[in-house]
Amino acid sequence: MVQLLERPVPQQNPISAEDSTEYKTKIKVQHIDFSYDATTKILNNIQLEVKEGEFLVFMGPSGCGKSTLLRMMAGLEPFSNGNIEINDKSVKETHPDCGVVFQDYSLFPWLTAQANVMLALKQRNKKMPKKELAHIAEQYLTLVHLGHAVKKYPGQMSGGMKQRAAIARALSYGSDLLLMDEPFGALDPVTRIQLQDLLVQISAEQKRTVVFVTHDVDEAIYLADRIVIFAPGKNGAVTKSIQVPIEKKGTDRKKLFENMEFRAFRESLLNEMNEQIVNSLRTEIADGAGI
């Protein structure tokens, strides 16, 4: 395990640092109520803000609306109650500028991994010659350990490979905002650790704002500035924000995970999540029993 944790972070980073001297993207979620149908309420009056450059992690039980809210932020889920603004513009009115990684990978199946990444690169580098696009796409794919698979089509790749290709594509898009739904879920532990470190490095160096969904509590604490816990409720999920009180910058990963402060916070976070679920179950039982 020690060996795994001590493996180095990939050093090369093809992302140009030009115009990334300051954090630019902020999000405001205001009074979001959401249901897919008339019977089940999914989100109940969600209000939260993501500051410029913040790394926000969503956690909470399966099915309580984390992906739904992320898709709403990406402008992929229409809604009528409440509002979401990215840099003061409502996502209802403009297509948000963001790099996304969702659970279905959403690669174009008729394009190779390299061509998928080239397409994202081209969105922001319209005049870049094809040869250069191909070269940079290959660098991004190498960064996520897919240098050997640039010519493979999604149908020829494993779930983890597709997930890494989707991550490469989101990073290459170059937006200041990254929305990532369990992006490391299908990865082996070594690759997962390396990509966590890569993401921390990129979000800091490139001044990106990140909203990230995970079920892994260590990953959440390691990555997040702030964790938003979703808890199920009768009228849809409610959220609670918790600042991660641990100074992580420059701290060796292994030392961090062994740190007493880290372990105490991990314990309190798990207790908090547990308590929220128990409270919500109690309310449902009380309502059902007519108390």
Binding site for ligand ATP (CB under 6 A): 36, 42, 62-68
Taking the complex as a whole, the smallest distance from the CB of residue 187 to ligand ATP amounts, in Å, to 16
Nearer to ligand ATP, 32 or 64 (CB): 64
Taking the complex as a whole, the smallest distance from the CB of residue 95 to ligand ATP amounts, in Å, to 19
Nearer to ligand ATP, 63 or 159 (CB): 63
Taking the complex as a whole, the smallest distance from the CB of residue 75 to ligand ATP amounts, in Å, to 15
Nearer to ligand ATP, 54 or 182 (CB): 182
Round to whole Å and give the CA distance between 284 and 281. 5
Nearer to ligand ATP, 106 or 259 (CB): 106
Taking the complex as a whole, the smallest distance from the CB of residue 79 to ligand ATP amounts, in Å, to 12
Residue 202 CA to chain centroid, in angstroms? 13
DSSP string, the chain: -HHHHTSPPP-------TT-SS----EEEEEEEEESSSS-EEEEEEEEEE-TT-EEEEE-STTSSHHHHHHHHTT-S---SSEEEETTEETTTS----EEE-TT----TTS-HHHHHHHHHHHH-TTS-HHHHHHHHHHHHHHTT-GGGTT--GGGS-HHHHHHHHHHHHHHH--SEEEEESTTTTS-HHHHHHHHHHHHHHHHHTT-EEEEE-S-HHHHHHH-SEEEEEE--TTSBEEEEEE-----TT--HHHHHH-HHHHHHHHHHHHHHHHHHHHHHHHHHHHHTT-
Residues 6+ apart with CB under 8 A from 269: 59, 217, 220, 221, 227, 229, 242
Taking the complex as a whole, the smallest distance from the CB of residue 45 to ligand ATP amounts, in Å, to 16
Q: Which two tokens stand for residue 128?
A: 């870049």
Taking the complex as a whole, the smallest distance from the CB of residue 238 to ligand ATP amounts, in Å, to 13
Nearer to ligand ATP, 149 or 229 (CB): 229
Nearer to ligand ATP, 20 or 67 (CB): 67
Nearer to ligand ATP, 36 or 108 (CB): 36
Taking the complex as a whole, the smallest distance from the CB of residue 107 to ligand ATP amounts, in Å, to 19
